[in-house]
Amino acid sequence: MPEGDAAGARAPRPRRRGLLVAAAVTAVALVGAGGAAVATRSGAPAATEIPVAGDVGVHDPALAVGEGDDPWYVYSTGDQRENAGAVQVRRSTDRGATWEYLGTAWGPSDSPRWAQEAVPGVVNYWAPELYEHDGTWYLYYAASTFGSNRSVIGLRTSPTLDPEDPDYGWVDRGEVWRSEPADDYNAIDPGIVEDADGTPWMLFGSYWSGIQVVELAWPDGLPAAGASPVGLASRLASPHAIEAPYVVEHDGWYYLLVSEDACCQGTDSTYKVAVGRSRDVTGPYVTRDGTDLLLDGGDVLLETAGDRVGPGGQSASGGVLAYHYYDAATGGTPTLGLREIAWDAEGWPVLTTEEEQAG
């Protein structure tokens, strides 16, 4: 979600972002990327934070973790001051420790004019999603304006994420889904997941009636014939503050991560990450105690702690969660956060570090 959005205008393989492959952990230890077990004081598993050097300012990071020594990439919400608000691109060659800004996914001459016509007033493009299928990378993104659900989700494709590859280039594939003021949902914050049969699904949603999912089809990555949205999660009390859906698959379960409450208020943000799980992509998703996420369920995984204010806008790749938060130490700068995901003895994800658990 871009900075300044207060109330629902908003807006996350080893190679596929949508399929998280994590090492099994016991109730007392987590095996991290470096192979070292991390025990906690309480005996519960804890996530391992990946320190990010420098002030990496991003909103809504879409993470793609490379295999082996291959680079990592983060695509994020665009800045209207650069290339007409195109999606931003960053690369890391040291497993997330430092990041190089590579510019934007497209230039001003290649802006999606169809999106600007569909949503008058668009100044930047929000909450991208990266997903690889059969040698093609799919870049989904949203076009909207603050406080409105007149929104569209667009798609571009490229054979590679490497901008130095001669085949690199994002081809505009047009509209994927849209919402109008008469609809009870908001078509932003796309997230892609494949089910056990290889069928792709796109999650989306922000405020209004909450989170939706719609069936797609390969190879075009567009909606399947006759597809229509199905509701997955909602907040019952106005302003129905839930958005940024992202599904992670683990051990036969689908885990729906959502961002709840207020984003983009700097150090006044109340954003947090919550979760429910289901055996099916289309739900129902429930909490540990069985509360349906459509009935305001959601177990909190990550929230404000110390200078990390309002974490959310999440994605995952290769066992690593990416999110943004507002750094109180710098006055509220939106900043990239990375941490490995742990799994507890009951198969639920854990995002808190040992220090955060100690309180």
Rounded mean pLDDT, 222-248: 97
Report CA torsion sign: 285, 290, 292, 296: negative
Rounded mean pLDDT, 218-242: 97
Gyration radius of the chain over CA positions = 18
Sketch the domain layout of the chain as residue ranges: 30-358
Nearest to 127 by CA among 256, 303, 20, 246: 246
What is the pLDDT at residue 44? 77
What is the pLDDT at residue 57? 94
Rounded mean pLDDT, 131-148: 97
Q: Give the largest CA-CA distance in the chain.
A: 56
* Catalytic positions: 60, 243
Could you report how far apart the first and last alpha carbons of the chain are, in Å? 29
What is the pLDDT at residue 32? 38
CATH topology of domain 30-358: Tachylectin-2; Chain A (2.115.10)
> Cα(31)–Cα(271) distance, rounded to whole angstroms?
28
| Letter string b/e over residues 71-107, b meaning 16 or more CB atoms within 10 A of that residue's CB | ebbbbbbbbeeebbbbbbbbbbeebbeebeebebbbe
How many CA atoms does the CB half-sphere of 213 hold within 13 Å?
23
Give per-residue pLDDT as tens, 149-198.
999 999 999 999 999 999 999 999 999 999 999 999 999 999 999 999 99
Model pTM greater than 0.95?
no
What is the pLDDT at residue 65? 98
What is the pLDDT at residue 43? 67
> Cα(123)–Cα(140) distance, rounded to whole angstroms?
17
Q: Tell the residue number behind the tokens 């995984």, with chain if given.
A: 301
Per-residue DSSP letter, 227: -
Q: Which of 15-19, 173-177, 268-272, 316-320 has the lowest mean pLDDT?
A: 15-19
> Cα(95)–Cα(67) distance, rounded to whole angstroms?
10
Give per-residue pLDDT as tens, 164-178.
999 999 999 999 999
What is the pLDDT at residue 35? 34
> Cα(272)–Cα(186) distance, rounded to whole angstroms?
20
What is the pLDDT at residue 24? 31
CA angle 134-140-146, nearest 5°? 170
On average, the pLDDT of the chain sits at 90
Rounded mean pLDDT, 76-104: 97
| Letter string b/e over residues 47-70, b meaning 16 or more CB atoms within 10 A of that residue's CB | bbbbebeeebbbbbbbbbbbeeee
Nearest to 246 by CA among 20, 4, 3: 20
Q: Which of 49-53, 54-58, 267-271, 292-296 has the lowest mean pLDDT?
A: 54-58
Give per-residue pLDDT as tens, 11-65.
322 334 443 333 332 222 333 333 333 445 456 799 999 999 988 999 999 999 9
